[in-house]
Chain A
Amino acid sequence: MPKVQIKHLTKIFGKRQKAALKMVKENKSKNEIFEKTGSTVGVYDINLEVNEGEIFVIMGLSGSGKSTLIRLLNRLIEPTSGEIILDGKNITHYNKKEMLDIRRQKMSMVFQNFALFPHRTILENTEFGLEIQGVPAAERRQRAEKALENSQLLSFKDQYPSQLSGGMQQRVGLSRALTNDPDILLMDEAFSALDPLVRHEMQDELLDLQANVKKTIIFITHDLNEALRLGDRIAIMKDGQLQQIGTGEEILTNPANGYVENFVEDVDRSKVLNAETIMIPGFTINADTDGPNVALHRMSEEEVSGLVAVDANRKFAGYITSDAAVAARREKKNLRDVLTEMPTVTPDTLVADIMPIIYDAHTPVAVVDENQKLHGIIIRGAVIEALAQTEGDNND
């Protein structure tokens, strides 16, 4: 039996719901419905099942109804129609008291902007869920401290949220949700407000955690990479309606419709692939002002083994490898003296033409324009993936 089942779940915001429903059935767009009726379609006719212990990711652009959907699950938003079935029990018509118990025992939520209570310390925030259940102070303190210890935050327990970094705050949010020991974790764009590095770290932590605690996690994101990293299964939404549910692999290989297809690819195939579409921003270093020590520091910081060298006017100068930088440090040389050659292409060079260049090069390829200004770099994997996709097209 699935942990959570959703049947024909619909939420319309506003007054003229009947008219809006009628227009949804006629496949009218969200904007059109709003203009005609003044009602907004939050979600429409959602059917899905979430199994015990899986990370189920719901993704979509903003306004696709994914945040509404997650709030329908614990009924922070009341559904217009449809059923929510938890552990085989339909909770759609539970009264207030029963719903409180569900929220206290079975579901906990983590929010995009952390939603920590600014007037409470970290510890008081973490024990909030237990506090409102009337758990004795000593016990709830002990459980909250354990949760904080698991996320290495115990030493901050008497500080206030505003004194912590975003990543730490979100760990507190997660600890607060886990202290209740719920069956289901609802995570509403939990990592979207963090910077990419911390975000990556948090994703790893969540996967580690899931390996230990085996919760059912319903995770919402608008970031495909995050969905592919975390999701056992992924649901894609558009304008309040489900487009496709499947594993990451299924969604990438067999997109259900054009929307999903466009959604899951970074490359628009209607255009001819060229250097500009597959390049990534390169890590650069100023060869005129920075020395070998700075170069080595940046390499270890960015976790790469080479940097693109530019001059003070951001003009392309060459490539500096880690070996060259070490040699320069030993021999007290400038970076200028130890640069290696780096193949260059212009932004409009076609992928097919880059292939032979990259095959021979020991470095990435630099994309520079006619003024020698650096636009980005191209790495091997990007070219191979791009070519593989175009081949796939030929097979269709």
Chain B
Amino acid sequence: MINLLSIAKLPLDSWVTDGVNWLTKNLSGLFNAIQTGGSNTMDAVTNFLTAIPMPIFIITLALISWLLTPKKYGQPIFILLGLALIANQGLWSDLMQTLTLVLVASVISLVIGIPLGIWSSKSPKAYAVIKPILDFMQTMPAFVYLIPAVAFFGIGVVPGAFASIIFALPPVVNFTYLGLQQVPTSLVEAADSFGATTWQKLFKLELPNAKNTIIAGSKQTIMLALSMVVTASMIGAPGLGRGVLSAVQHADVGAGFVSGIALVILAIIVDRFVQRLNTEPVSAPKLPKWRKLTTWAMLAILLISGVVGSITATQSSGKKVTLGYVEWDSEVASTNVLAEAMRQHGYNVTITPLDNAVNWQSVANKQVDGTVSAWLPNTHKDLYAKYKNDVDLLGPNLKGVKLGFVVPDYMDVNSIADLTNQANKTITGIEPGAGEMKLAANTLKAYPNLSGWNLQESSSGAMTTALDKAYKAKQPIIVTGWSPHWMFNKYKLKYLADPKGTMGGQESINTVVRKNLKQTSPDVYKVMKKFHWTQSDMQTVMLDIQNGKTPTKAADDWISSHKSQVNAWFK
């Protein structure tokens, strides 16, 4: 009997890490080329789609749908109303970005997947290798693909597409294989008996026969690519997914629902159009000629308007700046204020919401120009230690930050050391990647009275929702809190004293930029260096957002009432 437990733990994780690092280092040229080429391609597609005037887009699409399905009015009307609703909610450009991601990921998946499926069906050896890999790809949680995607391609739309492709590839391969396997042997024999070559057999018999199965697989692939949109937005893929993700992090039911319903509408439309390809030859309705011609004409209108629109589109001028941030209420406020201020001074600013660790990594890899969301010295201590050689720390933009365990003031506990068994021995936390969660975990270890307590991971939005619920019911709750935060304006709360100081003392929020920003864009560097404001400033903007203003609107309002302070950043 070998005692399995006596074998030392295999360092599997470090093997994988080393492998990915090796790939990143040795294939960086290739990855960068893919990243650049991919971004440019996808930007071009997005620009093209966005350039099509929205009404023309909606009406021609509805018309095409009606032309292809005579006597059926449900689908065109659905397209008309659904897309109009999306446009009305101001999600049109998000929709186009999502459509780009789905189109590119699906097309690449199909271009890779169908040949793989054919190869599998022709060669049992190939299938024996491909099948387990497919199973692995299909069952591995999609989030896992984001990690190497960021390592290889940084942030943005390309890693999103990469993760979507890996995630969406298996069904089309499997279904292609299945469809080709299911072609009756007698038909294959017949084709052979007439002296068909392998290729003739494939194109004249097998693929046409397996067509509907392959289309069913393609449909699944497209749907999976669509479902990855939300996941991919965690690493900076733009589009509707961002709205869903941000709504989750802010526990904003309404906004989440709106972005979600937009995705549903898109999914249904795509599904119906793909379904249209899936026909039986016998029952296929013969479309009258004028319908076919008009359909082509409509497609031509779409193309031409896209091309014309792209050419005449006002190229956004000004220096390009990209800022990374994390979807915490404080950072949404500060990043939007800085971005709006820079836009008003003629910069072309893109802001990308990211997970905290990815945000640091992106600055270190020069994927973004900088971020104003670095909480130091304690909260992001580990990340700073990891990346301090690759980033340029410009100093605080907001002083007097505090972190700690926060409780409603109706609870009679005042210090972390006095906690016994309140609130089911649970600390309600935020995103697992946040620096504060690390501090909270250390705190649980440092205080003997907290042994057996657990730290609940969620999101900043879910934490405030839980706090709101408990507060209204006068129930005990302990959350990981921080200031500046609007919750202190909304509820009566107090920090628990921290005699051991494990939740950090006084903190500040700092600006961190990429290593070579000073050389490449000295003016951006100067603005980033000068950007600073106060707790009360931030709290004003946060409350505005919390009370329903959009982040950009709240930022604009604050800027217009603090003109001289803002202008000082640009001097």
Contacts and interface: CB of A to CB of B under 8 A. Distances in A.
A186 B189 CA distance: 13
A129 B204 CA distance: 11
A13 interface: no
B194 A117 contact: no
Interface stretch (A97-105, A293-301, A349-357): A97-105
B448 interface: no
A109 B193 contact: yes
B187 A117 contact: yes
A160 interface: yes
Nearest to B192: A76
A115 B195 contact: no
Contact of B194 (A99, A104, A119): A104
B13 to A, nearest CB: 44
A191 to B, nearest CB: 16
Interface string B254-295: 000000000000000000000000000110000000000000
A276 to B, nearest CB: 39
A160 B279 CA distance: 14
A281 interface: no
Contacts of B197: 100, 132
A108 interface: yes
A9 interface: no
Contact of B192 (A101, A103, A120, A186): A103
A254 interface: no
Contacts of B209: 117-119
Contacts of A103: 192-195
Interface string A174-217: 00000010000010000000000000000000000000000000
A109 B282 contact: no
B140 interface: no
A115 B189 contact: yes
B194 A128 contact: yes
A115 B204 contact: no
A103 to B, nearest CB: 4
A119 B189 contact: no
B208 interface: yes
Given A131-B204, A162-B282, A111 B190 contact: yes
A5 to B, nearest CB: 20
A104 B194 CA distance: 5
Contact of A76 (B193, B205, B211): B193
B208 A113 contact: no
A115 B186 contact: yes
B195 A111 contact: no
Interface in B183-225: 184, 186-187, 189-197, 200, 204-205, 208-209, 211
A163 B283 CA distance: 10
B193 A107 contact: yes
Interface residues of A, number: 30
A100 B189 CA distance: 13
A133 interface: yes
Nearest to B212: A119
Contacts of B189: 71, 76, 109, 111, 115
Interface in B154-201: 184, 186-187, 189-197, 200
A215 to B, nearest CB: 15
Contacts of B208: 117, 119-120
A74 interface: yes
B335 to A, nearest CB: 56
B381 to A, nearest CB: 65
Nearest to A128: B194
Contacts of A119: 208-209, 211, 281
Contacts of B211: 119
A115 B190 contact: yes
Contact of A160 (B191, B194, B282): B282
A125 to B, nearest CB: 9
Contacts of A71: 189
B190 A109 contact: yes
B350 to A, nearest CB: 49
B193 A74 contact: yes
Contacts of A120: 208, 281
Contacts of B194: 103-104, 108-109, 128-129, 132, 180
Nearest to A113: B186
A163 B281 CA distance: 11
A74 B196 CA distance: 13
Contact of A133 (B192, B195, B205, B281): B195
A325 B336 CA distance: 101
Interface string A111-153: 1010111111000000011011100000000000000000000
A109 B191 CA distance: 10
Contacts of A109: 189-190, 193-194
A174 to B, nearest CB: 13
A15 to B, nearest CB: 16
B483 to A, nearest CB: 69
Contacts of B186: 111, 113, 115
A180 B195 CA distance: 11
A108 B191 CA distance: 10
B101 to A, nearest CB: 34
Contact of A101 (B191, B195, B204): B195
Nearest to B194: A129
Contacts of A117: 187, 190, 204-205, 208-209
A104 B195 contact: yes
Contacts of A108: 193-194
Nearest to B186: A115
Most chain B beta-carbon neighbours within 10 Å: one of A102, A103, A104, A115: A115
B281 A118 contact: yes
Most chain A beta-carbon neighbours within 10 Å: one of B189, B194, B211: B194
Nearest to B193: A109
B346 to A, nearest CB: 61
Nearest to A71: B189
A237 to B, nearest CB: 20
Nearest to B211: A119
Interface in B506-558: none
A71 B185 CA distance: 13
Contacts of A118: 209, 281
B425 to A, nearest CB: 65
Contacts of A186: 193
Contacts of B205: 117
Contacts of A131: 204
B196 A132 contact: yes
A134 B221 CA distance: 36
Contacts of A113: 186
B569 to A, nearest CB: 68
A128 B204 CA distance: 9
B284 to A, nearest CB: 10
B271 to A, nearest CB: 24
A132 B311 CA distance: 47
Nearest to A173: B190
B189 to A, nearest CB: 6
Contacts of A76: 189, 192-193
Interface string B400-438: 000000000000000000000000000000000000000
A102 B190 CA distance: 15
B282 A115 contact: no
Nearest to B187: A115
A144 B189 CA distance: 21
Contact of A132 (B187, B195, B281, B282): B195
Interface string A219-235: 00000000000000000
Given A74-B193, A111-B189, A120-B208, 9 more contacts: A71-B189, A103-B192, A115-B186, A115-B190, A117-B187, A117-B209, A119-B211, A120-B281, A132-B200
10 contacts: A76-B193, A100-B197, A102-B195, A111-B190, A117-B190, A118-B209, A119-B211, A120-B281, A131-B204, A133-B195
Interface of B: 184, 186-187, 189-197, 200, 204-205, 208-209, 211, 281-282
8 A-B pairs with least C-beta separation: A103-B195, A104-B195, A115-B190, A109-B193, A115-B186, A100-B195, A129-B194, A119-B208
